[in-house]
Amino acid sequence: MTGARSGRRAGDSGTREAIVTAARRRFAENGYDGATIRGIAADAGVDPALVLHFHGTKERLFAASLQLTVVPGELITSVLAAERRRLGEEFTGHLGEIVVRSVLTVWEKEDARASFVGMLRSAATNEQAARMLREFVTTTIMTALSQAVGPDAGEPDPATRRYRASLVASQVIGLAFTRYVLQLAPVTSASAAELVAAIGPTIQRYLTGDLSSG
Amino acid sequence: MTGARSGRRAGDSGTREAIVTAARRRFAENGYDGATIRGIAADAGVDPALVLHFHGTKERLFAASLQLTVVPGELITSVLAAERRRLGEEFTGHLGEIVVRSVLTVWEKEDARASFVGMLRSAATNEQAARMLREFVTTTIMTALSQAVGPDAGEPDPATRRYRASLVASQVIGLAFTRYVLQLAPVTSASAAELVAAIGPTIQRYLTGDLSSG
């Protein structure tokens, strides 16, 4: 069965999956502007019209390719829930290292790293992609993080929780950018354990520490 | 009129422009470290001495080629030297807030912010530009920072100084990316004073704190 043949059946989830897989790779390699519907269709072995039939627009396809890789918000929520059960009262004090270890574990998987780096590349060069990534980070990752430092973890103010979560995003995104995009030597070659020890306390302070003075 | 002839007149803006154009091409092709004053001069059809006459140093020529309004390595070195004179023995303890306040002050100038964001955008999508930015950050910005935490500030090991400087780069670049490129709401709307208070201690710890445990 070729991709083109299977594509004739609109309900074929294999074709839909092949298109999204091709899109994910193209967006990662070429960024949002550089990836074309035509190129994605060619990679998936289908007609460009079928890509549009399934996904409507390049933007929707981009969104679909984000949702079908690791879903960061869900992942963070489930990791934090598991760690909360495991650590009990100590959970809040270990949030920083849990966050750093989790993102590094995810990024060790090449697919997940490639899709995140692709998101950064796209956001860097295209306002539409930046808006999508911004909304995505806000509605999933920041929501998951700000729940973790909610009232029962000592931060009753929702605006402060969002500020804390955005500071975490600034360091986590900066880590990804220097480690994988810029490939700045010592950060790139450092082990996960070294980075958890170095950056974990930063994230911990952003989530639960005093932010108004040094 | 050839480049070589125009080069004889030191005030000739055409020659200056030819040198910058040649530099831009060489930096893109060979990276920051690989590009030489000699090679750039040859491409522009002028004597290497004339390149130095116009631009002083390779870093300044690089800044000119990117239309940067500031020379980052020089700026950091001069800000740190001024603060060291002003604060005396307290200098080392205030490094974190000095670094955050300095970059935010520079980025408040639209030209400087646009150049830096342009460098990030280019590096995000083009391996050649990433290599150039990586080498530039390493040989200028990280060198300036690692001098600031050198033996007299308590860090005798050069490899550790580089690691510390690269951690600083991860947070500073992440701040620029979330504040100006991604425009993630609370980080984007926060005042410079708020960010200095929130992020200064992170930079301080990366430069002078214990990185091996939380």
Q: Do B174 and A173 touch (CB under 8 A)?
A: yes
The reported pLDDT for the residue numbered B5 is 45
Please give the mean pLDDT across all residues of chain A: 83
Please give the mean pLDDT across all residues of chain B: 85
Looking at the domain that runs over B72-208, which CATH code has it been given?
1.10.357.10
A71 pLDDT above the threshold of 80:
no
Which positions in chain A touch B198 (Cβ < 8 Å)? 167, 206, 211-212
Q: Which of A137, A55, A129, A100 is nearest to B125 (CA)?
A: A129
Task: Tell me the C-alpha distance between B194 and B179, whole Å.
Answer: 13
Task: Give the ranges where chain B is alpha helix by DSSP (H).
Answer: 3-7, 13-34, 37-44, 48-55, 58-65, 72-87, 95-108, 110-125, 127-136, 142-148, 158-176, 185-189, 192-208
Containing H/E element for A193? helix A192-208
The reported pLDDT for the residue numbered A179 is 95
Which positions in chain B touch A181 (Cβ < 8 Å)? 123-124, 130
Which positions in chain B touch A34 (Cβ < 8 Å)? 125
Task: Tell me the C-alpha distance between B151 and A133, whole Å.
Answer: 42
The reported pLDDT for the residue numbered A88 is 87
Second CATH level (architecture) for the domain B3-65? Orthogonal Bundle (1.10)
B177 touches chain A (CB under 8 A): yes
The reported pLDDT for the residue numbered B3 is 42
The reported pLDDT for the residue numbered A211 is 92
The reported pLDDT for the residue numbered B121 is 86
Q: Which of A24, A22, A18 is nearest to A5 (CA)?
A: A18
- A5 or B101: which carries more pLDDT confidence? B101
Q: Which site among B100, B167, B180, B205 would you substitute to test the A interface, given the most A Cβ atoms closer than 10 Å to its Cβ?
A: B167
What confidence tier does A199 reach under pLDDT thresholds 50, 70, 90?
A: very high
The residue whose two tokens read 């603060």 is: B83
Q: Do B197 and A185 touch (CB under 8 A)?
A: no
Compute the CA torsion angle B94, B99, B104, B105 (nearest 10 deg).
80
pTM of the model as a whole? 0.80
A30 pLDDT above the threshold of 80:
no
Task: Tell me the C-alpha distance between A22 and A38, whole Å.
Answer: 11
Q: What percent of chain A has pLDDT over 70?
A: 86
- What are the residue boundaries of the structural domains of chain B, listed by start? 3-65, 72-208
Q: What ipTM is given for this predicted complex? A: 0.82
Let me know the angle formed at the C-alpha of B98 by B92 and B103, rounded to the nearest 5 degrees: 145
Q: How many CB pairs under 8 A join A and B?
A: 161
Q: Which site among B170, B188, B211 would you substitute to test the A interface, given the most A Cβ atoms closer than 10 Å to its Cβ?
A: B170
Give residue-wise pLDDT tens across range A158-183: 888 899 999 999 999 999 999 999 99
Using alpha carbons, list the distances in angstroms from residue B165 to A109, B124, B143. 27, 21, 8
Give residue-wise pLDDT tens across range B68-81: 767 777 888 888 88
For the record, the structure tokens of A210 come out as 């005093």
- A94 or A142: which carries more pLDDT confidence? A94
Smallest CA–CA distance, residue A47 to chain B, in Å, is 28
Which superfamily does A3-67 belong to? Answer: Homeodomain-like (1.10.10.60)
- Residues with pLDDT less than 70, chain B: 1-11, 69, 213-214
Smallest CA–CA distance, residue B206 to chain A, in Å, is 8
What confidence tier does A2 reach under pLDDT thresholds 50, 70, 90?
A: very low
Q: Which CATH class is domain A70-208?
A: mainly alpha
Nearest to B173 among A174, A194, A205 (CB): A174
The reported pLDDT for the residue numbered A4 is 45
The predicted model gives A181-192 an average pLDDT of 93
Task: Tell me the C-alpha distance between B28 and B128, whole Å.
Answer: 6
Which long-range contacts does B146-152 make (Cβ < 8 Å, 24+ apart)?
B147/B77, B147/B80, B148/B80, B148/B95, B148/B207, B149/B92, B149/B95, B149/B207, B149/B208
A213 touches chain B (CB under 8 A): yes
The reported pLDDT for the residue numbered B8 is 46
The reported pLDDT for the residue numbered A187 is 94
The reported pLDDT for the residue numbered A184 is 92
CB B162 within 8 A of CB A158: no
What confidence tier does A194 reach under pLDDT thresholds 50, 70, 90?
A: very high
Give residue-wise pLDDT tens across range A130-158: 876 787 677 667 778 888 877 777 778 88
The reported pLDDT for the residue numbered B170 is 96
